[in-house]
Amino acid sequence: MSPALFLVLAACLIVGALGVVLLSSPVRSALSLVVTLFFMAVVFLLLDAQLVAALQVVVYAGAIMVLFLFVIMLLNLQADPPAMARLGVRVTAAFGASLFLLAVVRFLTRGGGTMTDPRGMATPLPEGFGSTQGLAELLFTRFLFAFEITSILLVVAIIGAVVLAKKKLT
């Protein structure tokens, strides 16, 4: 994709992420996250990951965030003050986070190693990259064990969630 399009998408993503963190009403925070997840799916599409983009919308934006909204609605949460920590905590957190960001960006863009891999972003991709068939082949051959373990994890999570959220029958 062109750098201009990337910058536009990056700006939208950052605005959405800031919306999650800065908006005081939890419902608006959740909606801001949904918008961010959408733009993330667009970025995935432009990175030739079609199935992952579709899954992002179906699973993340379509199911997980609905769950969040449900819980916010059920608990009838308003924007209870205080929405954020007191000033000292905020300043320290911002300072620490910026140091962290600087260090990470410095590390990630230092060049050499993976960054100068001959395959790279500019070279064309092999046929069927990002397609469902390619992902499925990998998933059911090399990653089969992880796939089966994940299904067990999901069953455990379902049972756990139902047991935890049930009303106790007194």
Binding to other proteins (CB under 8 A): which residues in 9-48?
10, 13-14, 17-18, 20-21, 25-31, 33-34, 36-37, 40, 43-44, 47-48
Say if residues 57 and 41 touch (Cβ distance below 8 Å): yes
Say if residues 29 and 23 touch (Cβ distance below 8 Å): yes
Residue 39, number of CB atoms within 10 A of its CB: 19
> Rounded CA gap, 137 and 131, in Å?
10
> Rounded CA gap, 165 and 70, in Å?
13
Report the nearest approach of other proteins to the CB of residue 13 (Å). 6
Give the distance between the most distant pair of CA atoms in the chain. 66
Q: Considering only residues 75 through 94, tell me which ones interact with other proteins, judged by CB under 8 A.
A: 75, 77, 80, 82-85, 89-90, 93-94
133 residue type, one letter = Q
Report the nearest approach of other proteins to the CB of residue 169 (Å). 14
Report the nearest approach of other proteins to the CB of residue 129 (Å). 7
Does the protein bind other proteins through residue 144 (CB under 8 A)? no
Q: Considering only residues 100 through 139, tell me which ones interact with other proteins, judged by CB under 8 A.
A: 100-101, 104-105, 108-109, 111, 114-115, 117, 119-123, 125-126, 129-132, 134-135, 138-139
> Rounded CA gap, 59 and 132, in Å?
16
Selected binder of other proteins within 71, 145, 148, 170 (CB under 8 A): 71
